[in-house]
Amino acid sequence: MVNKEMLFQQIMHARSRVYQVSSPSPLERYSLDNGATLFLKREDLSPIHAYKWRGAYNMMAAQSKEALEKGVVAASAGNHAQGIALAAAKLGCHARIFMPRSVPKMKAREVARHGGANVEIVITGDNYDESSQAAKKAAQESGALYIPAYDDILVMAGQGTIGDEIIMAAVKPDIVFLQIGGGGLAAGVACALKTYCPDIHIVGVEGENQASMAAAVKNGHPVVLDNIDIFCDGTAVKKAGEVTFEYCREFIDEFMTVSNDDVCAAAQVLWETARTMPEPSGAMGVAGFLKRKNEFAGKSALAILTGANMDFSRLSWISRRAGIGLSSTRYFEIKLQERAGAMLDLLMKMDDLDINIVDFIYGKVDDEVAFPVLGFDVNDMSLAALEKRLRDCRFTFQDVTNREDVAFRIVSCQPSLFKLPYIAIIEFPERPGALFEFMTQAARFGNICYFNYANSGEQIGRGLMGFEFENEDSRRKFLEYLETEGPRHHPVSLDVLRYRQK
């Protein structure tokens, strides 16, 4: 049986500590088309651009001077480490922080920046759990205080001040979506909310391959997951906390999971509405809400944007998968005859539909048949119309949205089959119809044997395209067309494609 009153009292005590560092984070309101209201708690605007500093600072500030003089030890995949570093610098103590090898470089740099000379970073282990084991061993050997990332009442209480701020802002949502890793945030915030407003419905949101808390609740105790997905690295925990489990079981009304694509979709929505780009785990609460928003028409919901500490290099993947998570991008592989004009004929049959081609992947691998993959930007209605048109026109096709070669843009081809090829980067205006117009002109001269194009969001679209011709005269006329009236282009050696085959 959990001691709800004790945790709530600790949250009240945490107020006097955490507000020595920062004032409450903003709470924003957004209205949706279905009449629902989403309140967004902006922890990305906190001192470390994530909520973790609250629990770390609260626990460290609660210690005696003598305890801090022995130093502290912690393990973290990034944000907890930054919180420890910030607290160590503020309180003037030494912190030894163990971080996994997979930690985003930006988070490691920020730990060093926040902590300065007060922090020693130790990179070890392939994941948080391995780093945590090393940190606990180091604390035991040195006598330093171990500061857990989530499984402690003081840490949970620090995170729980977020829930207190929500209530103090006179906001009482009908539903709250709380992302869960180890459970410290969910336990603390849920305790504060349920104490003030017992009828608030709280949903715990976990990654599809990270659901350690739901597994703990199902089994009656924390269990170790065999494998976890680390895309949402801030919530990648194999085993829920022993302490947090008891409180989450008490306060969380239901659990749900979200996919990585759901998270990418939520990141896009947050960019388009709040003009912020969260780290994957930071968007999980919003992902949970978006996945079920149609259930809450006319109601109010709340989610916490828990962090925005992400390496810039991850943006490209998030951008590509966001449309899939929003169910607005679908990839179809369509079987065609390998002949001049076949792809143009396909596009002509879809020209009047309300669709936009955002991706085109194709490489010639056979003299008889072709299997281009087209990515379409569609809604439910236009997707149904597209599928009907393809069936009516007797095209054989399949949805390959989640196929591995599509996800990683593997473009297979056999350059030895290309006849008198010309390979080039072709530029055209990034608007509906521009690609179709160019292909209409190109079909007068030859056949497409290679096509690699993805919408980049720029005003100019660029595709790596290959063309083949029946004779030298057709090839010469095509090149004349490009030089005199065709789009801007940059020739590329055929060796580029050959090398990609190795």
Measured distance CA(210)–CA(111) in Å, rounded = 25
Residue 317 confidence (pLDDT) above 80:
no
Measured distance CA(367)–CA(369) in Å, rounded = 6
The length of the chain, given as a count of residues: 502
Measured distance CA(376)–CA(2) in Å, rounded = 51
Model confidence at 222, pLDDT cuts 50, 70, 90, reads very high
Measured distance CA(303)–CA(282) in Å, rounded = 10
Residue 502: the pLDDT is 41
Lowest mean pLDDT among 200-209, 228-237, 388-397: 228-237
Closest CA to 323 of 178, 177, 455: 455
Backbone angles phi, psi at 378, to 5 degrees: -140, 160
Burial 88-99 (b: 16+ CB within 10 A, else e): bbbbebbbbbbb
Percent of the chain residues topping a pLDDT of 70: 97
Q: In DSSP terms, which residues pair with 428 in a beta bridge?
A: 461
Contact call for residues 190 and 178 (beta carbons, < 8 A): yes
Measured distance CA(354)–CA(356) in Å, rounded = 7
Contact call for residues 160 and 131 (beta carbons, < 8 A): no
Helix residue ranges, H only, 62-174: 65-69, 79-91, 105-115, 128-142, 153-168
End-to-end CA distance of the chain: 62
For 193, the token pair is: 């909310």
Element at 274 (helix H, strand E): helix 260-274
Over residues 377-386, the pLDDT tens digits come to 877 788 889 9
Residue 85: the pLDDT is 96
User: In this predicted model, which residue has the larger pLDDT, 127 or 476?
Assistant: 476
Closest CA to 97 of 79, 72, 117, 65: 72
Model confidence at 311, pLDDT cuts 50, 70, 90, reads confident
Task: Indicate the CATH number of 4-50+153-324 among 3.40.50.720, 3.40.50.1100, 3.40.630.30, 3.40.50.20.
Answer: 3.40.50.1100
What is the rounded average pLDDT of the residues 431-456?
85
Element at 363 (helix H, strand E): strand 356-363
What is the rounded average pLDDT of the residues 76-83?
89
User: In this predicted model, which residue has the larger pLDDT, 406 or 284?
Assistant: 284
Over residues 232-275, the pLDDT tens digits come to 988 988 899 999 999 999 999 999 999 998 999 899 999 989 99
Model confidence at 500, pLDDT cuts 50, 70, 90, reads very low
Contact call for residues 389 and 457 (beta carbons, < 8 A): no
* Distances 324 to 90, 293, 321 between C-alpha atoms, Å: 44, 17, 5
For 66, the token pair is: 């003598």
9 contacts: CB under 8 Å, gap ≥ 6? none
Over residues 169-180, the pLDDT tens digits come to 999 999 999 999
Q: What architecture is domain 57-146? A: 3-Layer(aba) Sandwich (3.40)
Residue 125's identity, in one-letter code, is: G
Residue 501 confidence (pLDDT) above 50:
no
Contact call for residues 237 and 184 (beta carbons, < 8 A): no
Residue 457: the pLDDT is 67
Residue 437: the pLDDT is 84
Model confidence at 436, pLDDT cuts 50, 70, 90, reads confident
Domain spans of the chain? 4-50+153-324, 57-146, 328-501
What is the rounded average pLDDT of the residues 478-497?
90
Q: Name the CATH superfamily housing domain 328-501.
A: Biosynthetic Threonine Deaminase; Domain 3 (3.40.1020.10)
What is the rounded average pLDDT of the residues 486-496?
89
Measured distance CA(246)–CA(289) in Å, rounded = 24
Fold match flag (4-50+153-324 vs 57-146)? yes
Backbone angles phi, psi at 221, to 5 degrees: -170, 160
Cβ count within 10 A of residue 265: 27
Model confidence at 58, pLDDT cuts 50, 70, 90, reads very high
Output Rg (C-alpha) for the chain, integer angstroms.
Answer: 27
489 contacts: CB under 8 Å, gap ≥ 6? 424, 425, 426, 427, 482
Contact call for residues 7 and 160 (beta carbons, < 8 A): yes
Residue 447: the pLDDT is 92
Measured distance CA(325)–CA(39) in Å, rounded = 21
